[in-house]
Amino acid sequence: QVIKIDGSSTVYPITEAVAEDFQKAKKNAIKVTVGISGTGGGFKKFCRDETDISNASRPITSKEMADCKAAGVDYVEMPIAYDALTVVINPKNTFLKQATVEELKKLWEPAAQGVVMKWNQVNPAWPDAPVKLFGAGADSGTFEYFTEAIVGKAKSSRGDYTASEDDNVLVQGVSRDVNAIGYFGYAYYAENMSRLKGLPIVNPKTGKAVEPSGANVENGTYVPLSRPIFIYVKAKSLQKPEVKEFIEFYMKNADKLIREVKYVPLPKVAYEGNLKHAKDGKIGTVFGGHNEVGITVEEILKREAKM
């Protein structure tokens, strides 16, 4: 009785916490393993019918859907939390109080490569100081989401920035350079608030600058940089009692554990919905095989319900 889970590193801390508590609760009678091979790697294994659950920091793509279909793998999509991408700056930075999507776009769009090298090129009010950019690696879900949300097109970004898969590296980079700006998952910001400053982003709809915080994500004002994260559960595995039990445990404890690992939980209904889908065997995705930006909690719940 081994439940095999693999996939996103973003989702990993949540699933790990669940797995740990679940095993303890079951006195180790049921074994759970969790791997990190990235969302893509996770889906690859998932669609080869090797894992029971796949962690994903983005919705499944059409290509992956096709793969799963070919292997006869059906799955239940379960959004489990929100990850807020946080734009961070050095705490010693005095001139940046907030930023608009446009400003960020100016800074990050491909056209800026090799051109926008000074802060005052973005906004004349800002000083004539070099810009030091830090961001997620081009292969990550974070990158894809950030580009789509800011530049407007997925994977469309300037290339001359320091990229890392390891967000701690970015934390280090930003915390040591006054002129730095970077982005990564909220959890890293939450754990390193002493060394970093979260940059409030102007909500394009309200025009108000919103700080990155759990509450602001939950209340839906921190847009467009909030994104949902998922687990995908294999339908066949849901037949197995231990997987079923695990999912039930997951949804029941999600709220507490997600907060513990510094992510933003979804409202209770979302978890109940997930359980219902599992019971009803609602398979498939509510996304069209591609990512969507700025999608809110309500919106997802709405779509899920529609399924």
Partner 1 sequence: MNHTMSAKSASDLHQVSDRLAHNALRNVNERLIELVLFAAAAVSVLTTVGIVYVLVSESIHFFQNVSIVDFLTDNQWTPLFDDAHYGIMVLISGTLVSSGVALAVAIPMGTIIAIYLSEFANPKVREVAKPVLELLGGIPTIVFGYFALLIVTPLLQKIFPELPGFSLLSAGLVMGIMIVPYIASLSEDAMRAVPMSMREGSYAMGATKLYTAIHVVVPAAVSGLAASYILGISRAVGETMILAVAAGMQPNLTWNPMEPAATITSYIVQVALGDLPHGSIGYQTIFAAGLTLLLITLVFNIIGQWLRRRYREAY
Partner 2 sequence: MQPMTTEQIRALIARGKLKDTLFQAIGILCLGIGLLVIFLLVGDMLMRGMERLNIEFFTEFASRRASQSGILSAWVGTLLVMLVTAAAAVPLGVAAGIYLEEYAKRNWVTDIIEINITNLAAVPSIVYGLLALGIFVYTFGFGQSILSAGLTLALLILPIVIVATREAIRSIPAMIREGSMAVGATRWQTCRYHIIPYAMPGILTGVIIGLARAIGETAPIITIGALTFIAFLPPAPFAPTGMDGATAGMFDWVMSPFTVMPIQIFNWTSRPDPAFEVNAAAAGFVLMGMVLSMNAVAIWLRYRMRKNIKW
Interacting residues with partner 2 (CB under 8 A) = 1-2, 4, 6, 9, 12-13, 15-17, 19-20, 23, 28, 31-37, 45, 50, 165-168, 185, 187-188, 190-192, 257, 260-262
**What is the total count of residues that contact ligand PO4 (CB under 6 A)?**
9
For residue 18 the two structure tokens come to 């669940």
Tell the smallest beta-carbon distance from residue 291 to ligand PO4 (Å). Answer: 12
Q: Using the minimum distance from each CB to partner 1, give the nearer residue, 60 or 223.
A: 60
Q: What is the 3-state secondary structure (H, E, C) of 214-272?
A: HHHHHCCCCCCCEEEEEEEEEHHHHCCHHHHHHHHHHHHHHHHHHHHCCCEECCHHHHH
Strands 132-136 and 75-89: unpaired
25 is a site residue for partner 1 (CB under 8 A):
no
Q: Using the minimum distance from each CB to ligand PO4, give the nearer residue, 116 or 225.
A: 225
39 is a site residue for ligand PO4 (CB under 6 A):
yes
9 is a site residue for ligand PO4 (CB under 6 A):
yes
CA angle 51, 22, 249 (to 5 degrees): 85
293 binds, among partner 2, ligand PO4, partner 1, none (CB under 5 to 8 A by kind): none
For residue 9 the two structure tokens come to 């590193």
Q: Report helix, strand or coil for 144.
A: helix
Tell the smallest beta-carbon distance from residue 61 to partner 1 (Å). Answer: 5
For residue 83 the two structure tokens come to 């990850």
Tell the smallest beta-carbon distance from residue 213 to partner 1 (Å). Answer: 26
